[in-house]
Amino acid sequence: MIEILKKSYIFEDLNEKALLDISSFSQEVKFAPAEIIINEDQTASYDLYILLEGRVDVLISVMDHVSRDKEQKLIETIYPGDVFGEMSCILKKRRSASVKSIDQSELIKIDGLKLLNYMEAHKDTGYEILKKIVNVLSGRLLNTNYLLRNNFL
């Protein structure tokens, strides 16, 4: 597990002890094609995921103002090495999007509440992890801005 965490952008610079600690509340999970990993608006889980194999789509529900029906819109595809679930993990808020596997997918699931507690207890390591998560979120916000600009302006 430590070797896998080391390859993730968020954890790549951490020392062996920190990686060992984080691996103690992490587990490998697998999902079949088209299986839902995270449901939008879900509040029971704040876990962070690292995609090891496969691809997953991040989807949001959008209301059609004419028919009043909700439809799923693709906002991003996640590839091996990427993380997702970071926003709910940090904020301890409901999920803002659904995540659905495209292929047979293998992931690392990190208990979000335990990760937050670890970051609080180990402030230097927590700060390093948080900086990386902010970089991920900033990149996703930029991509969302481009999507909005291209679709609505």
Provide the CA 81 distance to its chain's centre, in angstroms. Answer: 11
> For the whole model, what pTM was predicted?
0.87
Q: Do 55 and 75 meet the contact criterion of CB atoms below 8 Å apart?
A: no
Phi, psi torsion values for 151, nearest 5 degrees: -95, -25
**CA angle at residue 20 from 50 to 129, to 5 degrees?**
55
pLDDT value for 122: 97
Pull the structure tokens for residue 131: 């900086």
What's the rounded Cα separation, in Å, for the pair 64 and 75? 16
How many other C-beta atoms can be found within 10 angstroms of the C-beta atom of residue 72? 14
Cα 127 from Cα 120, distance rounded (Å):
9
Residue 63, token pair as written in the block: 């209301």
Give the SS3 label for residue 88: helix
As given in the structure block, the two tokens for residue 123 are 């402030």
User: How many other C-beta atoms are found inside a 10 Å radius of the C-beta of residue 109?
Assistant: 17
Please give the helix or strand (H or E) that residue 78 lies within, else none.
Answer: strand 70-78
Domains, the chain, ordered by start = 2-152 (2.60.120.10)
Q: What is the full per-residue pLDDT of the chain (153 aa) written as tens digits?
A: 889 999 899 999 999 999 999 999 999 999 999 999 998 887 778 999 999 999 999 998 887 777 778 888 888 899 999 999 988 888 888 788 999 999 999 999 999 999 999 999 999 999 999 999 999 988 888 887 887 777 754
